[in-house]
Amino acid sequence: MVQALHRVVWFVVLVLVQTQILNHVHIMGYATPMVFIYYILVLNSEISRKTILLQAFVLGLCVDIFSNTPGVNAASATLLAFARRFLLQMQMLRETTDDYEPGIRSMGVGAFLRYVSSATLLFIIAVRLTDVFNFQHATGLALRIVTDTVMTVICIMCVDAMRRKR
């Protein structure tokens, strides 16, 4: 019960931080951190795939509602939740059926950084391609994907390090 309440608080806090603060941050006109995906990335491995997909869709939909981006984040977050198990298996030596919560402490810095980087890159590519829906400005699109990914990975690593510090 306490863990469910903890998840709800993280869900609400990440949606509010993303929609009220981070969506308005554009470093040098390009880099916008998408920290709300941290919720999807660190969900416990014991949670069923259906539940993770549903939570990711609702999380993306909440961000879409507050950001006025119809379906972009919902579709991308659902794609990320779908690929999450595969991305974890690529980084972990043990089976993902073990009961653990992905993070710096459980995976190590290197494995968690690779996991977060690959998941963030997948999410940002999905968001940007769904948002733009063409390749006329491929250079600007590539620059935006790279800068968004780098900023998001840095922010997620900092959030996880601070969260796990206690």
Q: What is the pLDDT of residues 92-150, one digit of tens each?
A: 766 545 677 888 888 889 999 999 999 999 999 999 999 887 777 888 889 999 999 99
How much is the CA Rg of the chain, to the nearest whole Å? 15
pTM over 0.85: yes
Kindly state the tokens that stand for 113.
Answer: 């950084």
Beta bridge partners of 27: 31
**Could you report the per-residue pLDDT of 22-67, keeping only the tens digit for each?**
888 888 878 889 999 999 999 988 889 999 999 999 999 999 999 9
* pLDDT (0 to 100) of residue 166: 58
Measured distance CA(65)–CA(162) in Å, rounded:
29
Question: CB burial class (10 A; 0-12, 13-18, 19+) of residue 58?
Answer: middle
